[in-house]
Structure 1
Amino acid sequence: MKKKIVLIDGNSVAYRAFFALPLLNNDKGVHTNAIYGFTMMLMKILEEEQPTHMLVAFDAGKTTFRHQTFEEYKGGRQKTPPELSEQFPYLRELLKAYKIPHYELDNYEADDIIGTLSLQAEQAGFEVKVFSGDKDLTQLSSKATTVCITRKGITDIEVYTPAHVQEKYGLTPEQIIDMKGLMGDKSDNIPGVPGVGEKTAIKLLKQFGTVEELLASIDEVSGKKLKEKLAEHKDQALMSKELATIMRDVPVDFSLEELKYKEPDETQVYELFKDLGFNSLLNKLERPAAEAAAHQPVRYSLATELDDQFFSGSSSFYLEMITDNYHHAEIAGFGLADDQGVSFIPAETALHSPAFRAWAEDEQQKKSVFDAKRTIIGLRRHGIELRGVDFDVLLASYLINPSESPEDFAAVAKLHGLGNIQADEAVYGKGAKRKLPEEEVYAEHIASKAAALEELKEKCLKELKENEQLELFYDLELPLAHILADMESAGVQVDADRLKQMGEELKSQLAVIERTIHQLAGTEFNINSPKQLGTVLFEKLGLPPIKKTKTGYSTSADVLEKLASSHEIVEHILHYRQLGKLQSTYIEGLLKVVDDSSGKIHTRFNQALTQTGRLSSTEPNLQNIPIRLEEGRKIRQAFVPASSEAVIFAADYSQIELRVLAHIADDEKLMDAFRQDMDIHTKTAMDVFHVTKEEVDSNMRRQAKAVNFGIVYGISDYGLSQNLGITRKEAAQFIERYFASYPGVKEYMEAIVREAKEKGYVTTLLNRRRYLPEITSRNFNLRSFGERTAMNTPIQGSAADIIKKAMIDTAARLEKEKLQSKLLLQVHDELIFEVPNKEIEIMSKLVPEVMEHAVELKVPLKVDYSYGPTWYDAK
């Protein structure tokens, strides 16, 4: 078999891959697009070329022997983007995993190493293949050496043989050097002869052969100007040729035989792909033998009889429900993995077993689960109170990287390197087709999840420890899961008759507004049809069209708001839409989800979803009832206590995010304002406008409020100008004056962005992380988003941590003092309770006291509270 060596220009191919692919990053925030592209090319080369020998050459540094000839060599090149620089260590790891030698040598370029080895290989009878993105290397092509140059992207290759060079340029490969000498090379800052381009250089070389022959025969060159330029720049032409010449006798310190290509280390490749998040490439690999052996279809036993001896010690416990709404879901079965092995327990067996109930309710029997809240609620529906949960894989995975927050077990397992768990859809089907298959199919599926839990627990524990997040997990998120389960189970009582009455009132209002709109338009039309509305506004009434879509005029909310002053019809249309949304989304929507048996709404709190750590509410979303409109606020009248002898009690943090900002930024003036219990917006207006408290008018306070809350979200001058209806210049001056008044805030904003760029993530006060790969993006908009998020996440995330801590502390106090009051809802900075009348006085002291001391800041936390017969009255 003939020997074949593949030589790869590492820097060039990495550059090509980097600029050919969009910025990609793994779950740790490391950019991976160059590595991914390089890997794709490497795999293609190995498959198609089947080399016996290989080497990847890299440039050793910025300075080479060519700089002694010409100091400005490569002087015009832009600095390597940091997003690319950070990927080179991983490229070397990749080559190590593939057992491909790589080499670099001080004072020389990768081209020179490749030139030297290609010549040595030719002389030793090798077939040589060179891969690069740099056409300079085409000078190496010969009978034995083929040079493959990437064109578009990394897989579109142009193959240069001597015949192809002749066909393309009419030159020999050796003359490529002469061509570069004459025309120069902008990318390498090789000057050449001014005014001589590729066509002229080729024409001259076809006539004279080499630069030297040309310069010796200048008198024979046609064209006066060209003669003058060649005569004037003789030395520059010769120097340029020298710079473009690849050296072929570099003192490499190894032999060709040391470049034998060995089989890759499959385990290393597999682990590296997992680390880099190359899931599509992972699927092309066979799992390493050790991992494959560990993940054969799980062996499990079918447990049809349970007794006390069946359960032993700590266990990984998985409950399977086959519908998304777990408040009504039927249990399919349970998986249990412990030191006795893996078992599948049918639902009927477990739910009717005294031994199972005793084990599930035993606090001392520790259990690792997936989604503690869901598991608690699922069992509670069958009268079993799950206790002893000491680990939740879903919550742990969420804390490790909140930007990757799937709820499906298989997806979470895959994130942590276990790709052998089937997705639920593959087992049960999707949507309306979702159903239980044969028992042996879902039994194996459930058992495999239980078996995977212990391995996932170990992996997650290790990462939580490395991230210093064990306290956040054990003291905050895991206890909170139990509290949220209680809140979801309890539900909120709804006065359905009041909701229906509101719906009728809204219908009447909508009918009146509809008549008004038709009168102003001079015609009847479907207001909900964008096409008909666009025709009326922009053709019949002649309003100026601001934006067009593929289907006609845009009538989006932002367009209508800009047209509000153009015609009175616009305000009525905006109001009509707002009331229409209240009617369909909130009145009709809420009535659909009232539980028939309890008359309550059981919302679902998402604990492992948002990247800031805030809770969200779905099915239905009770955190998003619009309260700016009075009609929207009135919807809260339908939320009432379950007992006629109780009230709805609401307590919310006052300006918590600004207080967190004062603490984190350590700004004396901002902290002092909160310590003196001043109105922070008035204080900001005083500082920014340089006026006394008495001189602050409502407009000044409004502007100060906008900048106070805008600063928390990293607002730009453009954003502030839009909020306040002022020019960008005025907004920029306002922000500048704000930072001059609160220098600590400015210092914090700059410092946190620097930190995010260095680490790739930011943290909250309780060490919650958010990774920000966008912050080093070359794309301005992405980078700006990353910077704004870096400023905001520690503030918003810390506020979320504080109210979660308050929920845990409040629940503990209610239990300790044996109170009947219940926590019903959390709406961002607000907690909603149902409080018996006899406990109002106690709760009026207890709740603010606990909330204000949940976390000690450098400024006091302040809590406002109120109560009444409905949620509406409690505000």
Structure 2
Amino acid sequence: MTTNKKLVLIDGNSIAYRAFFALPLLNNDKGIHTNAIYGFTMILMKILEDEKPTHMLVAFDAGKTTFRHETYKEYKGGRQKTPPELSEQFPFIRELLDAYKVSRYELENYEADDIIGTLSKKAESEGYAVKVISGDKDLTQLVSDATTVDITRKGITDVDSYTPDFVMEKYGLTPDRIIDMKGLMGDSSDNIPGVPGVGEKTAIKLLKEYGTLEKLLESIDQVSGKKLKEKLEENRESAIMSKQLATINCEAPLEIGLDDTEYEGFEKQNVVKIFKELGFNSLLDKLGEDPEDTKEHEIEEIDFIKAENVTDDMLADEAALIVEVWEDNYHTSGIEGFAIVHENGRYFIPVQKAMNSEKFIKWAEDESKRKIVFDAKKSSVALNWKNINLKGVDFDVFLASYILNPSETIEDVSSVARGKGIYIANPDETVYLKGAKRRVPEEDQLAEHLVRKGAALLALKDRLLEELEENQQLELLKELEMPLSLILAEMEAQGVKVDVERLKAMGEDLNRQLRALEGKIYELAGETFNINSPKQLGVILFDKLKLPVVKKTKTGYSTSADVLEKLADKHEMVREILHYRQLGKLNSTYIEGLLKVVHQDTHKVHTRFNQALTQTGRLSSTDPNLQNIPIRLEEGRKIRQAFVPSKEGWVMFAADYSQIELRVLAHIANDENLTEAFLNDMDVHTKTAMDVFHVEKDEVTSNMRRQAKAVNFGIVYGISDYGLSQSLGITRKEAGEFIDRYLKSFQGVKEYMNESILDAKEHGYVKTLLQRRRYIPEITSRNFNLRSFAERTAMNTPIQGSAADIIKKAMIDMAFQLKEKNLQAKLLLQVHDELIFEAPEEEIKELEKLVPEVMEHAVELNVPLKVDYSYGPSWYDAK
């Protein structure tokens, strides 16, 4: 019986493992590790595109023990514990499969292999074509004319397709003899013993001669070689048991059938939602997004006036103000229109009418006229470009919503309003559309949309105020985030001067270095070739220079960065290629990239600070990202030479907190040893090494200090033995012992970690010193992996978040002091724990006293905050 049905079976655990170890550890903005989920998703998308299955299922292992352990207790006994960084990703992989409407199944006491084997044989008998996808070659025993088994190699998309012909070509055996081969050679990954000393070649040779394991064991006397005979005789039972362990059970008692694996496709909005939650922006582009359903609630008609002139009755003492800038890059795109909404009226004001009205400008700049806005920073920057200084911002709905729940994505006014059950405004995307269709609508449609948004702001204020007061977070909004938003607006408008000629000269210098490297690489290769062509480079490295092959792709040898790093000590040319690539990226991403965003009128870059993005409260920057200029390479550090003061006779002044997160930890945990180190101004990493290794200060080696530093910065973020082993290049056992010793030495830290988890369980959230909350609903999850992630989040958020709050408070205090003392110095940038100013040289002596004093007393801790500073003619020289 033949059908057009195609069943795809995926070994879920195996593919997740492959993805995890093939990709570097990645985190999204919520702190969730995502490399395994991302890799798994890439594979899933490729399968759906290439295979077009009618039926599909992902099988997972149900637990650590299976029926095989009854035969051999040590089965899989040598495997290391799954890294928690991987474990926490399995629930999200299952969520992802549900979003894709792909069936998944696990069965107590059985492995994923047994589920796959049972379903594949059932499907074969009913005429299905079957494709199995795994990283485990054990499944190749299922290969038949109807079943192909794709085995992933070291990457996540490179596969070998095992067919009967492929198996015969590779092993000289039929697929059903794979289990006999395993019986003889064993399998170290599953701790299957086999026959000691018998490897793959010997096993294949014996099976070609005798057919099966049983026939071989019946004919041991005919085997040539005394030692081999003895091994086979002595390990007869081990070989038979090993074959049994390796044999997939194709009659497992499944509670599902082929009908349950039917695949009818997925609904894009479900997948889009999880991609957004996970931060998979590149996959969103591949997928394409459907507009969200916006017709669930009827929106009432709204009356408003489209103003011909600005009149006094429009400009109330308290009103919602919409300053509409529809493009992300609001520094250059301009304002599309205004709306003012208050108790006595709703008004749309076209841009030119407002800009030509002295009344409007005076009202906008009047501190006593209270404005309710959505994103004060954005509104303020946009108005600043029109030479209007927005004042009197009394409430920011955007920031209030962010403070109340930093895990929610705030898309627009409508998304906040709908979250509170208020259906006044439509989502922006229904008015402006998306992607290539995006445009500003006709003025009448725009006018109604802006007025609706203003009405939503007015309706939201009291509701959000009440929630903030209930959470004791009103001060966080009014005293920290709202004042900061206006400071950030000033910083964005101010911008940072770029010496374009110097940047171009750096680009030319990098190009010279790249040409010199090209010449050296060609000389080492003995010929010219396209260095940027992986195919040509692979031929040189692996065919000509005979370097060991680390990984292959469908098109040839892999020459990815991780491959080259493993080969760096094998040949000088590899090191030169790595350097060539680093310089090439610097040139294209940072030199050419920065030149593209220098404002043609101001000769500055005007980065955008994202104030409501991270769950910890940290700022980030985009267009360009000035927090991410690479400084490990000297050539990267030198890019900072192009950032210079905007006036002659001025200098750049940089000040940064020293080890602020560890100082916050010492305060919050009230740890005696950490506190002692900071009170006595000791090197905290040396102090940690002394306590952990039980040695005197002069006995601390550089390696001891390096290990102590890694644990100091990692421990409170829930670093695991796996994570520490990766960062230090030591075994997981050694890393685990180090963590245990640390926690014994730092009892206060250990107690803090335990208490933060208990607090999160009791309240459902943790908070910073300034009452910023992060909700962690997963803390009570029955799922171990989700709960583990939540516990690490509970530990690290109060530290990271408090450090973020402190530098924000320092920015507000500094802005006040600069104004109070009538100084010309200006705050330009915040980069993590660092503030960068520009100032006239004559103010430097005062800044040397003022900046550390203000920053060190932004928040009082029971250990001193310490600030280092420097200054010079460029940002580079100020570090």
Equivalence map 1:87-486=2 (5 Å): 287=297, 295-431=299-435, 433-486=437-490
Question: Match for residue 800 of structure 1?
Answer: 804
Question: Match for residue 838 of structure 1?
Answer: 842
Matched, 1:862 2:866: yes
What amino acid does structure 1 have at the position aligned with 2:588? S
Separation (CA, whole Å) in 2 of partners of 1:567 and 1:548: 19
Question: Match for residue 127 of structure 1?
Answer: none
C-alpha contact 2:414 2:456 (8 A) present in aligned 1: no
Question: Match for residue 706 of structure 1?
Answer: 710
Separation (CA, whole Å) in 2 of partners of 1:782 and 1:564: 38
Separation (CA, whole Å) in 2 of partners of 1:550 and 1:862: 54
C-alpha contact 2:547 2:570 (8 A) present in aligned 1: yes
Task: Give the TM-score of the pair, scaled to structure 1.
Answer: 0.65
Separation (CA, whole Å) in 2 of partners of 1:542 and 1:406: 54
**3-state SS of 1:644 partner:** coil
What is the aligned counterpart of 2:603 among 599, 605, 622? 599
What amino acid does structure 2 have at the position aligned with 1:648? M
C-alpha contact 1:334 1:346 (8 A) present in aligned 2: yes
What is the aligned counterpart of 1:659 among 659, 663, 679? 663
In angstroms, what is the RMSD of aligned CA positions? 2.6
What amino acid does structure 1 have at the position aligned with 2:474? L
Question: Match for residue 630 of structure 2?
Answer: 626
Matched, 1:688 2:692: yes
What is the aligned counterpart of 1:748 among 732, 752, 768? 752
Question: Match for residue 267 of structure 1?
Answer: none
- Give the deviation of 1:496 after TM superposition: 0.5
- Give the deviation of 1:508 after TM superposition: 1.4
Separation (CA, whole Å) in 2 of partners of 1:558 and 1:702: 23
Question: Match for residue 573 of structure 2?
Answer: 569
Separation (CA, whole Å) in 2 of partners of 1:549 and 1:774: 39
C-alpha contact 1:658 1:712 (8 A) present in aligned 2: no
Separation (CA, whole Å) in 2 of partners of 1:555 and 1:759: 50
What amino acid does structure 2 have at the position aligned with 1:872? Y
**Alignment gaps of 5+ in structure 2:** 1-29, 33-87, 89-114, 116-276, 278-289
C-alpha contact 2:413 2:457 (8 A) present in aligned 1: no
C-alpha contact 2:655 2:867 (8 A) present in aligned 1: yes
**3-state SS of 1:501 partner:** helix
C-alpha contact 1:397 1:405 (8 A) present in aligned 2: no
Question: Match for residue 723 of structure 2?
Answer: 719
C-alpha contact 2:494 2:828 (8 A) present in aligned 1: yes
1:504–1:784 CA distance, 2 compared to 1 (3 A): farther
- Give the deviation of 1:512 after TM superposition: 2.2
- Give the deviation of 1:662 after TM superposition: 0.6
1:556–1:764 CA distance, 2 compared to 1 (3 A): farther
1:285–1:672 CA distance, 2 compared to 1 (3 A): same
C-alpha contact 1:298 1:451 (8 A) present in aligned 2: no
**3-state SS of 1:740 partner:** helix
Question: Match for residue 183 of structure 2?
Answer: none
Separation (CA, whole Å) in 1 of partners of 2:512 and 2:744: 53
Identity in percent: 65
C-alpha contact 2:498 2:598 (8 A) present in aligned 1: yes
Separation (CA, whole Å) in 1 of partners of 2:699 and 2:692: 12
Separation (CA, whole Å) in 2 of partners of 1:374 and 1:307: 25
What is the aligned counterpart of 1:581 among 559, 575, 585? 585
Separation (CA, whole Å) in 2 of partners of 1:529 and 1:784: 43
Question: Match for residue 48 of structure 1?
Answer: none
**3-state SS of 1:456 partner:** helix
**Alignment gaps of 5+ in structure 1:** 1-26, 30-82, 84-151, 153-276
- Give the deviation of 1:845 after TM superposition: 0.4
Separation (CA, whole Å) in 1 of partners of 2:560 and 2:782: 31
Separation (CA, whole Å) in 2 of partners of 1:874 and 1:445: 47
C-alpha contact 2:670 2:748 (8 A) present in aligned 1: yes
Write the deviation string for residues 203-241 of structure 1: whole angstroms up to 9, x where unpaired: xxxxxxxxxxxxxxxxxxxxxxxxxxxxxxxxxxxxxxx
Write the deviation string for residues 774-796 of structure 1: whole angstroms up to 9, x where unpaired: 44455555443333222211111
C-alpha contact 1:334 1:345 (8 A) present in aligned 2: yes
Separation (CA, whole Å) in 2 of partners of 1:778 and 1:541: 54
1:531–1:772 CA distance, 2 compared to 1 (3 A): farther
Write the deviation string for residues 279-308 of structure 1: whole angstroms up to 9, x where unpaired: x9x969965xxxx5xx40321111112233
- Give the deviation of 1:313 after TM superposition: 2.0
Separation (CA, whole Å) in 1 of partners of 2:295 and 2:442: 31
Separation (CA, whole Å) in 2 of partners of 1:552 and 1:756: 51
**3-state SS of 2:331 partner:** coil
**3-state SS of 1:652 partner:** strand
- Give the deviation of 1:861 after TM superposition: 0.2
Separation (CA, whole Å) in 2 of partners of 1:422 and 1:673: 56
What is the aligned counterpart of 1:513 among 481, 493, 517? 517
1:470–1:325 CA distance, 2 compared to 1 (3 A): same
- Give the deviation of 1:467 after TM superposition: 2.1
C-alpha contact 1:405 1:608 (8 A) present in aligned 2: no
What is the aligned counterpart of 2:854 among 845, 850, 854? 850
C-alpha contact 1:487 1:825 (8 A) present in aligned 2: yes
- Give the deviation of 1:538 after TM superposition: 4.4
- Give the deviation of 1:536 after TM superposition: 4.2
- Give the deviation of 1:546 after TM superposition: 4.1
Separation (CA, whole Å) in 2 of partners of 1:365 and 1:425: 31
Write the deviation string for residues 325-364 of structure 1: whole angstroms up to 9, x where unpaired: 1111222211111121211111111111111111111111
C-alpha contact 2:413 2:456 (8 A) present in aligned 1: no
What is the aligned counterpart of 2:650 among 633, 646, 649? 646
Equivalence map 1:730-741=2 (5 Å): 730-741=734-745
C-alpha contact 1:319 1:334 (8 A) present in aligned 2: yes
What amino acid does structure 1 have at the position aligned with 2:332? H
**3-state SS of 2:336 partner:** strand
Write the deviation string for residues 414-452 of structure 1: whole angstroms up to 9, x where unpaired: 333335532323222335543332211111111110111
Separation (CA, whole Å) in 1 of partners of 2:859 and 2:867: 13
Separation (CA, whole Å) in 1 of partners of 2:837 and 2:741: 42
- Give the deviation of 1:533 after TM superposition: 3.7
1:789–1:527 CA distance, 2 compared to 1 (3 A): farther
1:781–1:498 CA distance, 2 compared to 1 (3 A): farther
What amino acid does structure 2 have at the position aligned with 1:428? Y
1:673–1:603 CA distance, 2 compared to 1 (3 A): same
Matched, 1:526 2:530: yes
Separation (CA, whole Å) in 2 of partners of 1:778 and 1:550: 42
Separation (CA, whole Å) in 1 of partners of 2:525 and 2:763: 58
- Give the deviation of 1:554 after TM superposition: 4.2
- Give the deviation of 1:584 after TM superposition: 0.7
1:539–1:782 CA distance, 2 compared to 1 (3 A): farther
Question: Match for residue 673 of structure 1?
Answer: 677
What amino acid does structure 2 have at the position aligned with 1:430? K
Separation (CA, whole Å) in 2 of partners of 1:635 and 1:730: 39
Separation (CA, whole Å) in 2 of partners of 1:869 and 1:370: 38
